Structure 1
């Protein structure tokens, strides 16, 4: 049951949650070209067949690096195929011990790597932040990941308080305050002048509607592809082309860093440790009753014994993650897709190493027989294929998401054939 839950959770992450990022976060891949024209309201929606290749998501190189780290976690699963080949109890025990040591080393090495190379940790913070701190203007002016021209025109009319068809400095400041709500710095007149210089293409000190649509469309494209390692700074788009801006002016665009509360950090670590201990105690208390009830239910319902721990329990565990993933991917931005996929890859690595190490420790200490080669093989095949595929590319068309969905029933069929038909367990 333990290996079934491990296998079910790992496979579900890559064949149900991963495809959901592609399916719900897909946008027109042609929008990655800065020269593309904005979508007009009367444009026809492309057919489903065309969307399969024209729509999808793009990710950054750090996401591919995280996928490669996930792929490393397949090494212990590969080694664990040897007991099925070498039918020897003594050799199997040695292989279990070596794999246990290797899994623990990978787990510790991954934790230590994040201390000295904190980019993974920073991306995890960014993922949490972007789920709760979303740029309202970006969400408002985008439809299906593309600039909504009609809404931008409506915004221009709202800013044009005197209804003369032009936006002045004072009216523009209203928009910038809305963009800058997440920053700590004050909005200076100098910044307004610089932004006006970017928006006022004609140089008449007023922003015409066509100028407003053109520049905000470009800003939305820039915002969608923004992959800052810290936090997205909306106004950086308007000021990055100004070479004469000094460091003091640039600092006004960046949120001020807060001093670290050492005492508060210690309390947070202690609280986290307490939650881990409580969770471990609860798991120990309910483990045996859960195993007995699942086994009894599977027997009475005349269903394969692997189906409940492999499918039902992982579903109950992963439904909140699936909904959170869909909500994050629905922002239809490159940044949201990259951070969300990174969390999936990182979660699979941590789950594989921690759960596998715990399971192997129990098997070795209690000298249990090894009869879970089927589950190990399913994880190796599904996670290995997805690991190679996701670590070697940064563009995922929509069709790859639907192929990913098809892998889940395939994994169920594989496990059924290995256990119920070919008698691996």
Structure 2
């Protein structure tokens, strides 16, 4: 049983029991001396009362039973409705699981581009869209009106759930002490230690994110524009005026959706963050599966603890030269074995991440103790990720094709192209948080010097021709075979200032700085990774276009026929089919249950459906956030904001389209207001601040029950 159906079933049972308290019968108890009591006017009914207590309507049948598609079972009482909702919701979660897994695999295969900017984003929120589209567009006007109410509740519930419950949990698990926070006992001698600890917890710890996370929160704020427009609809009393407002909101919402897609196509940094969000999880799965396969024993004991002896045996196997260290070549060999296995990972990314996670003292080698501690850390995280069930490893589909342009080798060895690829190789060698550029856009001299020490293998303070050749051989020049001797001679000529056929540290720093500055000037970008990537694309664009023009059809056909691609497409199709065919029966049973127990449909669609559909997202987001690092926290919260953006504008566009086409009325200002308030509070906080103190998690938690309270005041007590 998956985690999310359990949570959905438990929540549904609790809510149902509360709702059913008003649908019971009582029995008048007759005492022996009842003749001595004063009649209250109901004692004459004693003879006709049932000997059993029962729920009103629980076992009474109705004539509303309808078999969807001719084979899906139906119900005609409260118990049947609850059972149907639990089963259909579970199947819907399974369909969403297949859809998510297949979409992520396709995203990993195709990478950033049109698919990542459009199709992948839509697939991530497709279940919510289908709940509205299938149920409302293909129904009568009366049925569509009630089903749109369920769709509005699901839209509002999903956005509120992500920005309250999920957001607060990520802050809770990811909080760490802010640097420079200290409490003076002398100045606060009158405050108890308990209050000091509480103050430190609430304001002295929290989450820190990067600037791009704030930008994503700003985009989320822009997605609220259609909601603001819709709030104007209740001002117009005439239906024509209200219909005009709906049309305007629909046009604005669709325009925002298309603009969001186009923005990601032309500036794919959001796609790159989404892709990087899954890379860490893929690396974790592939690495630990390889460790498990070669550790000659169970990696995790029955008690759930890491098997230290098995990890040590694996370290000894990887340490080929028996120097009690895992060097970069040995780590590359280990990653190569992972790539050749069932679970494949991106080699450059894997090496950088493993070194960052395992190499604690940053000396470019991994000791046995560092290897054990790193494995322990990843095993602990993997145990939690495994519970989610979505941690699929990325399977590489790249195939090496023998180049056909050797005759143009002289043209390809222009120093600009060579240095572009070499700079990219250097950029991959450094840690994620230490690029070749500083924050102010200047060359990172300290990092460049550390690269010189790394390539100076004999430690004689100069890089010889042989050492330079060894460096060139480790650089990937794409699908073009180049002569290492010829390339190293060109680089030596460019770097060697005094003509001694040696590159000193000063010459190396000057040479790299010169090319880093040129890359910055050509691309007009100060971001290290993006600058070098763009410079490499610009200089190699002509060559790569020639390669892919001839080989593109063959490679594309090979990838399309691969099992990984077919399997991913099948998962997406199966997920879409399940979500599409089960959406309408689920909405019908929710409506029937709400009518039977006498509560608005929107309560169930606001609480139960978002909880079941998003509980997996909560599990998958908690543990990257719990790594307590800037990178994982930024990626986690960016994914939350991106999901809310797509939910707001795509689902709202679908709802407004159904309302406008069907000529339905729009009377959901309270739902729009709840979404506006919650998104505005969290969005403004995230946009203007890159740190989320611990107290913000309490704020986020409180917004969820407050949202429910607003619904109760409006629908139950008729408060306006």
TM-score by length of 1: 0.70
Match of 1:299 in 2: 595
Q: How does 1:193-204 map to 2 (within 5 A)?
A: 199=363
SS in 2 for 1:6: helix
Match of 2:67 in 1: none
The answer to whether the 8 A contact 1:374-1:419 is kept is no
Matching residue within 207, 212, 216 for 1:62: 212
Q: How does 1:87-106 map to 2 (within 5 A)?
A: 87-106=237-256
CA distance in 1, matches of 2:238, 2:718: 20
SS in 2 for 1:409: helix
Match of 1:403 in 2: 699
Match of 1:368 in 2: 664
Match of 2:450 in 1: 242
CA distance in 1, matches of 2:159, 2:473: 44
Match of 2:683 in 1: 387
Match of 1:19 in 2: 168
The answer to whether the 8 A contact 1:58-1:394 is kept is yes
CA distance in 1, matches of 2:231, 2:682: 19
Matching residue within 314, 325, 338 for 2:610: 314
Match of 2:324 in 1: 171
| Unaligned ranges ≥5, structure 1 | 33-45, 138-156, 162-167, 201-206, 221-229
Distance 1:198 1:120, change over 3 A: closer
Distance 1:276 1:96, change over 3 A: farther
Number of residue pairs aligned between Structure 1 and Structure 2 = 359
SS in 2 for 1:242: helix
- Range that drifts further, 321-330 or 176-185: 176-185
1:214-233 superposed Cα distances (whole Å, 9 cap, x missing partner): xx9xxx9xxxxxxxxx9x96
Query: What is the Cα deviation at residue 130 of structure 1?
Result: 1.6
The answer to whether the 8 A contact 1:107-1:353 is kept is yes
The answer to whether the 8 A contact 2:214-2:690 is kept is yes
Query: What is the Cα deviation at residue 56 of structure 1?
Result: 1.1
- Range that drifts further, 173-182 or 359-368: 173-182
Query: What is the Cα deviation at residue 301 of structure 1?
Result: 3.2
Query: What is the Cα deviation at residue 103 of structure 1?
Result: 1.0
Determine if the alignment matches structure 1 residue 336 to structure 2 residue 639: no
SS in 2 for 1:57: strand
CA distance in 2, matches of 1:117, 1:319: 31
Q: Which protein has the larger Cα radius of gyration, Structure 1 or Structure 2?
A: 2
Distance 1:418 1:176, change over 3 A: farther
CA distance in 2, matches of 1:97, 1:322: 35
Match of 2:153 in 1: 4
TM-score by length of 2: 0.43
Match of 2:233 in 1: 83
SS in 2 for 1:332: coil
Query: What is the Cα deviation at residue 414 of structure 1?
Result: 1.6
The answer to whether the 8 A contact 1:10-1:348 is kept is yes
CA distance in 2, matches of 1:346, 1:302: 36
CA distance in 1, matches of 2:476, 2:706: 48
Matching residue within 238, 249, 262 for 2:556: 262
Query: What is the Cα deviation at residue 50 of structure 1?
Result: 2.0
CA distance in 2, matches of 1:354, 1:265: 31
Query: What is the Cα deviation at residue 399 of structure 1?
Result: 1.3
1:154-179 superposed Cα distances (whole Å, 9 cap, x missing partner): xxx99xx9xxxxxx993344598459
SS in 1 for 2:595: helix
Match of 1:122 in 2: 272
Query: What is the Cα deviation at residue 272 of structure 1?
Result: 7.0
Q: How does 1:210-289 map to 2 (within 5 A)?
A: 236=431, 241-242=449-450, 244=452, 261-263=555-557, 279=575, 281-289=577-585
The answer to whether the 8 A contact 1:130-1:336 is kept is no
How much is the aligned-residue C-alpha RMSD, in angstroms?
A: 4.5
RCO higher in structure (CA 8 A, sep ≥6): 1
Query: What is the Cα deviation at residue 348 of structure 1?
Result: 0.6
Distance 1:239 1:20, change over 3 A: same
SS in 1 for 2:153: helix
The answer to whether the 8 A contact 1:81-1:377 is kept is yes
1:155-206 superposed Cα distances (whole Å, 9 cap, x missing partner): xx99xx9xxxxxx993344598459955848x9xxx9xxx9x9759xxxxxx
CA distance in 2, matches of 1:120, 1:251: 33
The answer to whether the 8 A contact 2:659-2:665 is kept is yes
